[in-house]
Amino acid sequence: MTLNCAQLIICLPSPNKSLNSSKKTKTINSQGVINKSSPRNMNQLLFILLITLFAPQVLPYSYSGKLTSDSFLIGEPEQVALSLGSSPESCVVSWVATAVPNPAVIFYESTSSDSDTGSAYYAEVFVEGGDSSIGYASLFTENRCGTTRLMSSVYIENCSQLPAGYKVRNLQTTEGSGADKFPVNDFSDLFCGRIPGTPTSTTSSSIALVADMSDYMYSPGEYVSSIPAMTEAALNGEIDLVIHGGDIAYDIDDDCGRRGDEFMRTIQPLSTTVPYIFGVGDHEGGRKDLSLDCHAQLGYDYEGFRMRVGEATNAGQMIMAHASGSPTSFYFSFDVGLVHFVVINTNAWIHACHYWMLPPQMMWLSADLAAVKKSRTPWTVLIAHRAIYCVKNDDSECNTESEAMRYGLPELAYKKNINIGDWNGEVKGQNNVFGIEEVLEKYGVDIVFGGHTHHYERSYPARDGESVQKDYVNPEGTVFVVGGISGVGEDAFEKEYADFTAWRDETYRESWGHLNCNSTHAVWTQRLADSGGVLDQFTISKI
């Protein structure tokens, strides 16, 4: 049964509290950064400095220019998406807008309201000390094409359950009224959204997980996308949040970013209903410049991805990332109900131009997992785009690449800047550095979800390349799920089952993951994209 909007948790502060309230908090500092994300070591300081070199231009609210891009509708906000904030009760609403710089979220007592009545909340950018809500705007120009987008977002510290819908818009000014304040035809559609909120001991979390999912509207007829089925599930109240573990839109930067625009438009009915979280994959790399010093710069600029997740202003999804102590959109963590989710950048193990990212990422990952309170979040799920355990064929993806992530890079490959795909010989036992499996084992990570290889397979609880048991009762190892077929063509299995392989779909049907967790059981259901039916299901129990 479809939930009525009045039953949903709307991203909304208390109705009698303006966003420019004089009440201060310590949530955001004068630079718009969550205070707890201050660099904890010199590696993070260096990382932030290097990332800053690539940061898009941050526009103050005095900007009054005109956008040059024809890739989105001038006048009407679009590509609207919810994200989590710095706490279970906070949220961020983000969108692409015209050059009008003051982002606002407008809430309505009635979900059918078409008037300008209702409570309009906005905030000055980077308010000293941080108000209950903060507005951000950044002008982003893609260097390749010269196309420009104004990225807008509003962070709301307190989200309450109210019978209302919301729209987004950008104000000409935060003062006055009428035409001077509200441009003509700049309202978005009316949305009803919800966030998971603070869990209790009896909370059951329901999460959708996808990877390698393109925009079926951009390339109709090529495959079945999971977007319609997940949207229906969200509207029916069956999922609380979506995690997209990389390879977004195929590719998000294609056609000067227009393909990314079309993808964000396509998911808008889903991303305005529940938070939609993005991880980075290999198809988010953007431009490649091999002339760059591999130990000083990315080699790939990740321009479109970083712009869309809010890295230009430390807004959007970056508020959540900073709250987890991460300085970057490439790795971060958050809690949903009884689950602690961690998203990492697996490209760091593959390309020599990314190897410099491994020390800060692994240092952050160990610190993050060490801080998990199992009494509060008994389940830990890692999102890693490239599969750490998989079986496909003789190429490097499920062999040297997955082993390099599992056991660590051979020391010589790391020191000599050798791409792991070009490594000849054994991976394991080479004075390996930055292996992730020992971290998974040390901190009790329950599930690793990945994609990259375009099929569905799952492992038994595994360690050191083998299964440790043939069931999921009180597992002694991590379960690895590969679901890189949420809306793309398949990669055929050319090898037999490995010892760790539990099951795989050799019909290569497009599908998406649906994870339900309570305090003792985690049920993974792989749902078919075309019908929502069950492709596979297994239960991990801690009893």
Cα–Cα distance measured from residue 243 to residue 481, given in angstroms and rounded to the nearest whole number: 14
Decide if pLDDT at 393 tops 70: yes
- Which range, of 11-15, 169-173, 488-492, averages the lowest pLDDT? 11-15
pLDDT at 98: 63
- Which range, of 195-199, 227-231, 249-253, averages the lowest pLDDT? 195-199
Which conformational region is residue 397 in: left (phi greater than 0), alpha (psi within -120 to 50 degrees), or beta?
A: alpha
Give domain status of residue 218, yes or no: yes
Give domain status of residue 265, yes or no: no
Decide if pLDDT at 347 tops 90: yes
84, 224: one domain: no
The total domain count for the chain is 2
Question: What's the rounded mean pLDDT across residues 34-44?
Answer: 39
pLDDT at 96: 86
143, 232: one domain: no
pLDDT at 301: 72
- Which range, of 116-130, 329-343, 487-501, 526-540, averages the lowest pLDDT? 116-130
Cα–Cα distance measured from residue 458 to residue 522, given in angstroms and rounded to the nearest whole number: 14
Question: What's the rounded mean pLDDT across residues 80-85?
Answer: 93
Decide if pLDDT at 112 tops 80: no
465, 405: one domain: yes
Decide if pLDDT at 450 tops 70: yes
Return the bridge partners of 366, or none: none
pLDDT at 100: 65
Q: Using DSSP bridges, classify how beta strands 248-249 and 332-336 pair: parallel, antiparallel or unpaired.
A: unpaired
pLDDT at 175: 60
Contacts of 68 (CB under 8 A, 6+ apart): 146, 147, 148
Higher pLDDT, 502 or 124: 502
219, 99: one domain: no
Question: What's the rounded mean pLDDT across residues 355-374?
Answer: 96
Give domain status of residue 321, yes or no: no
Contacts of 172 (CB under 8 A, 6+ apart): 100, 102, 180, 181, 182, 183
- What stretches of 143-185 adopt beta strand conformation (E)? 148-156, 165-171
382, 456: one domain: yes
Could you give phi then psi for residue 323, rounded to 5 degrees?
Answer: -65, -25
Give domain status of residue 143, yes or no: yes
Last residue of a domain, one of 180, 196, 213: 180
* CB-based burial label for 189 (10 Å; 0-12, 13-18, 19+): middle
Give domain status of residue 291, yes or no: no
235, 382: one domain: yes
User: What domain range includes position 514?
Assistant: 205-239+338-541
Nearest alpha carbon to residue 262 among 298, 220, 301, 302? 220
212, 342: one domain: yes
Give domain status of residue 449, yes or no: yes
175, 218: one domain: no
- What stretches of 31-161 adopt beta strand conformation (E)? 78-84, 91-97, 102-108, 119-122, 133-141, 148-156
pLDDT at 214: 77
Specify which of 36-45, 286-295, 423-432 reaches the highest per-range mean pLDDT. Answer: 423-432
Give domain status of residue 244, yes or no: no
Specify which of 193-207, 244-258, 345-359 reaches the highest per-range mean pLDDT. Answer: 345-359
* CB-based burial label for 296 (10 Å; 0-12, 13-18, 19+): exposed
- Which range, of 176-190, 343-357, 438-452, 504-518, averages the lowest pLDDT? 176-190
Higher pLDDT, 52 or 423: 423
Cα–Cα distance measured from residue 400 to residue 423, given in angstroms and rounded to the nearest whole number: 8
Give domain status of residue 492, yes or no: yes
224, 142: one domain: no
Cα–Cα distance measured from residue 459 to residue 389, given in angstroms and rounded to the nearest whole number: 8
Cα–Cα distance measured from residue 83 to residue 63, given in angstroms and rounded to the nearest whole number: 26
390, 423: one domain: yes
231, 115: one domain: no
What is the widest separation between alpha-carbon atoms in the chain? 70
Decide if pLDDT at 119 tops 60: no
105, 221: one domain: no
pLDDT at 372: 98
Q: Using DSSP bridges, classify how beta strands 78-84 and 534-541 pair: parallel, antiparallel or unpaired.
A: unpaired
pLDDT at 74: 43
